[in-house]
Structure 1
């Protein structure tokens, strides 16, 4: 009798694993999908963290590069005034007075030191004379008649412009050649 009991229970145990096999494969598929989803989330999170790190690094670099911009703008007026002082003294006055010559030599030395400090900070003076008007770097103050230059060419620099690390610090204030009667008008608005 024990043999018959064993035979009757054996088919039941064989049937149970067959019923669990489809459930196990469903569970495995679900777990694999969840693992794939979690891997995707992990990769996205890692990419976002890397992008955040790069953005923060760039912000630190930009802050270091352009931290002196406000101070540099104020020093541009000093550079302008040093140049005006040098240009205000006629050559004959300078040659006729040793004191004036000595004073101007000191002003020129101060200007050279300031320009060297600008160079170290990445501040570059714009030299637009004879170049076409560029609204990104120039501000037109006036148009001048009677020049032999093409319309829109910078003919006078009233105030020099500067860049810092390639970024505009101050526009150059310029006068440009006026369009002749047969020339197209230059757009001087920015």
Structure 2
């Protein structure tokens, strides 16, 4: 693999670098003469490389999972933000509706107070009119009674006048008869 190739090329220069752990191995000419030690060192590098490759693959997979999860969370967040915005718009609309209803309520309460005041005033006026009506009815009854009494008196006077007229006419006729007889 690439890490082994880098490690072997560095061995030739006398220095081995592990890029992840930033460690260095000193390779001397003496070490190169011992093939078992070089083989052990290469095997160790292969094991380290295998571990690092496995770890890298796991981290890559985990990174992909986290990237996917992050994308899902971003999508969920966008949906949530959209819901929040919709709720805020609805809330604003409800607030405006509440303000409108409050204004209407205040107007209606004022109208109710005015109507109650007018009602009290009308009740007072009605009471005064009933009293005035009672007084006028009483006066009307008195006037009717007076009229009835005057009509009765007038009838009686008329009857008396007729009787007097008849008596006067009879007396005059009787006097004229007397005067004719006397003449």
- Same fold, TM exceeding 0.5? no
| Bigger proportion of residues as strand | 1
| Bigger proportion of residues as helix | 2
Give TM-score scaled by structure 1 length. Answer: 0.36
Of structures 1 and 2, the larger Rg is shown by 2
Give TM-score scaled by structure 2 length. Answer: 0.37
Q: Which of the pair has the greater relative contact order for Cα pairs under 8 Å at 6+ separation?
A: 1
